[in-house]
Amino acid sequence: MTRPITLTLTRPDDWHVHLRDGIVLQDVVPHTAAQFARAIVMPNLKPPVVTIAMAAAYRERIIAAIPATMRFEPLMTLYLTDNTSPDEIRRAVDSGFVHGVKLYPAGATTNSDAGVTDIQRCMRTLEAMQDTGLPLLIHGEVTEHSVDIFDREAVFIDRILQPLRKSLPALRVVFEHITTKDAADYVRDAEGDMAATITAHHLMYNRNAIFQGGIRPHYYCLPVLKREPHRQALVAAAISGNPRFFLGTDSAPHPKGLKEHACGCAGCYTALHAMELYAEVFEQAAALDKLEGFASFFGADFYRLPRNTTQGTLQQHEWVIPSELTLGDTALVPLDAGRILRWKFSG
């Protein structure tokens, strides 16, 4: 009998995750903590995390939901609004636990109504971020309904991102959950301190997945899945070994009933099996040797944090993704529910 293959790698981090709040923290935090040493926690709560005091309190609630057997560090973010002050940025830097500020164009995605209506209103605050080196994490889509939903990321690069980076060339930027060749090319070639996170689902699927034999709400996320050449460009970026591209799951728990709905929520839940999904993508691209840099090194380097010193293992071992998980008093459907995975990760 041949022994199953085991890969050992430095424990990975998730540089973009949604954990929500309240009782559901007990259901989702253990999934992320089982795989990742640290995670950049998104601030799009209701109400959004707009002050250091709110981030500190949210951080404590997350820490309270970490099982005693696990080690996990939540890395907090602030939600940028038209009214975020430069002083709040300085307090964020001084806090030691806030590692970025998230820009949601108002109306772009889940709980983004309080987001930025016009980036010009934030210039003094963004200057403070440039001066202090605090990264700006960007949901890169324009929100105009006149722009086709599949074009909103590419249009954002031209209309918002390029001008912004021209006026603040030393601002450190993460282009979150990129979905297009346009974004991958832009990040690869941009001058200055620029990086991007890539989700497992955008590496695995193109937009056909949303319509395979009927409408499939669990494959609907924002930015929406794109055409196959875009997926291929993302895989090429992820396996390139370029440190500008690193892991961010964008795992986003929504109750089953609000996904399978006449107006279903956007978001894919991958926290349970993220490393297994990424491993499949890298294996299929014959690039498993590039997974450690992408998952465990490049994000920490960008955020100027130490790389993890403990390890995790990926074992060739088949298991079935559960059809449902618990989310408070309701159910949560993980991405690819019911499918057999080829790898099992222990962090």
State the catalytic residues: 250
Q: Which does 44 bind (CB under 5 to 8 A by kind): ligand NCD, Zn ion, none?
A: ligand NCD
In the beta sheet, which residues pair with residue 11?
none
Rule CB under 6 A: choose which of 109, 125, 130, 296 binds ligand NCD. Answer: 109
Measured from the CB of residue 118, what is the shortest distance to ligand NCD in angstroms? 20
For ligand NCD, the closer of residues 46 and 124 by Cβ is 46
Measured from the CB of residue 220, what is the shortest distance to ligand NCD in angstroms? 7
Measured from the CB of residue 177, what is the shortest distance to Zn ion in angstroms? 6
> Site mask, ligand NCD, residues 1-40, x = CB under 6 A?
-----------------x----------------------
Distance CA 180, CA 30 (A): 31
Q: Which does 267 bind (CB under 5 to 8 A by kind): Zn ion, ligand NCD, none?
A: ligand NCD
How many helices and strands (H and E) does the chain possess? 13, 13
Number of residues that bind ligand NCD (CB under 6 A): 11
CA dihedral 30, 35, 37, 38 (to 10 degrees): -70
Measured from the CB of residue 93, what is the shortest distance to ligand NCD in angstroms? 24
User: What would the two tokens of residue 43 be?
Assistant: 């601030």
Sort strands 38-41 and 173-175 into parallel, antiparallel or unpaired. unpaired
User: What would the two tokens of residue 228 be?
Assistant: 């196959």
Rule CB under 6 A: choose which of 50, 190, 252, 271 binds ligand NCD. Answer: 252
Q: Respond yes or no on whether the N-terminal peptide bond of residue 47 is cis (omega within 30° of 0).
A: yes
Residue 318, H or E segment: strand 311-320
Sort strands 173-175 and 194-198 into parallel, antiparallel or unpaired. parallel
**By CB under 6 A, residue 102 contacts ligand NCD:** no
Site for ligand NCD in 187-246 (CB under 6 A): 221-222
